[in-house]
Structure 1
């Protein structure tokens, strides 16, 4: 595909990846069961642990990814390279945060154990756990982060060749000039201002 046509796919991939991460963050990541005698129901009672508890940083990371979308849509070629680097780092941070929770689920659910039992500390809360079962949402967050990384790579590879933003986003719209065209008539208010300036300098504008 032509590099100049990669703007929309890169922006859409950023939206999908960041949006998937934010959605994952709001869902249940783990179901934990406490050991018998832990003081919060029976071992058969599963306690859901949301992504907001298991990996709280994902909310800020995903929102930052969504904020990049507007910047990428309006930025010039040079700034796109900077944003591309930021996007790769942002996606990598999402993958790292979600992977850390999957790699150490006991630590990820520790705050939920503390809420249920009043016991704090990684060691004491680990002793109260009977089991921890992961859902598919942590993997979905990793997929979202990977998609953001891929979009950032596309920005770095093709961003300098993207078409410029639409004219409707520009502050000033310049009309084409014609060397043989007569100058446009000046407004009366502009002439009055010039006359006042001449009077201030001591010149007579009627002379």
Structure 2
């Protein structure tokens, strides 16, 4: 089987893997804040450090599931959307990795200490330590970018979806034999009178 023939399975697997990494990492500790007042360290989860992480990861999972059954035009649309999402999420995750800004820990510090405002938060924060989760998440976005490029390169040559996903009556096969309950239900789903 060639790369083009495996395009759909490679792309769907990449979407699902990167979305799962994003969802899992959103619940894990990304940043540990050392406090200047000698209080207990504050743990900042990925969903607080990067608020769009969980919803966009869920969207990537949904794209991956839908990608397995959509037609050619929607494959292209999904490929473009996934490319944009991977670039946006990759850039924001990389920025957080390189700078570990106070804005990423601000909401969690405010929730823990009750202090608000950038000056008050800066006085409380003695240091910010990164965990391995942002790096793993960045790898997930690289996987998503690669999978979306697979979609953009191979979407025209994927096999068509099965008849079970079609809703038009033009592809209905009429049988000369007896009609059972399942055939009647399928006829109703297509808008055809099963009592014909």
* Aligned counterpart for 2:83 among listed residues 85, 88, 93: 88
In structure 2, do the counterparts of structure 1 residues 184 and 134 end up closer, same or farther at CA, with 3 Å as the change threshold?
closer
- Do the aligned residues in 2 keep the contact of 1:25 with 1:141 (CA within 8 Å)? no
Q: CA deviation at 1:64?
A: 0.6
Q: In the alignment, which residue of structure 2 is the partner of 1:34?
A: 35
Q: In the alignment, which residue of structure 1 is the partner of 2:13?
A: 12
Q: CA deviation at 1:122?
A: 2.1
Once the two structures are superposed, what CA deviation does each residue of 1:33-80 show, in whole Å capped at 9, x if it has no partner? 1113xxxxx25x222111121111101110110110232112111221
Quote the Cα distance in structure 2 between the aligned partners of 1:69 and 1:117.
40
Q: CA RMSD in A?
A: 2.4
Q: CA deviation at 1:117?
A: 2.3
Q: 5+ unaligned residues in a row in structure 2: which ranges?
A: 180-194
Q: CA deviation at 1:184?
A: 5.0
Quote the Cα distance in structure 2 between the aligned partners of 1:10 and 1:25.
23
Q: In the alignment, which residue of structure 2 is the partner of 1:114?
A: 110
- How does 1:43-62 map onto structure 2 within 5 Å? 43=39, 45-62=40-57
Q: CA deviation at 1:152?
A: 0.7
Please give the TM-score of this superposition, normalised by the length of structure 2.
Answer: 0.81
Partner of 1:3, secondary structure, is coil
- Do the aligned residues in 1 keep the contact of 2:16 with 2:65 (CA within 8 Å)? no
Q: 5+ unaligned residues in a row in structure 1: which ranges?
A: 37-41, 177-182, 191-207
Please give the TM-score of this superposition, normalised by the length of structure 1.
Answer: 0.77
Q: In the alignment, which residue of structure 1 is the partner of 2:100?
A: 104
Partner of 1:144, secondary structure, is helix
Determine which structure has more spread, i.e. the larger CA radius of gyration.
1
Q: CA deviation at 1:119?
A: 1.7
Q: In the alignment, which residue of structure 1 is the partner of 2:160?
A: 164
Quote the Cα distance in structure 1 between the aligned partners of 2:3 and 2:143.
20
- Do the aligned residues in 1 keep the contact of 2:100 with 2:128 (CA within 8 Å)? no
Quote the Cα distance in structure 2 between the aligned partners of 1:81 and 1:129.
46
Partner of 2:68, secondary structure, is helix
* Aligned counterpart for 1:136 among listed residues 132, 135, 149: 132
Partner of 1:133, secondary structure, is strand
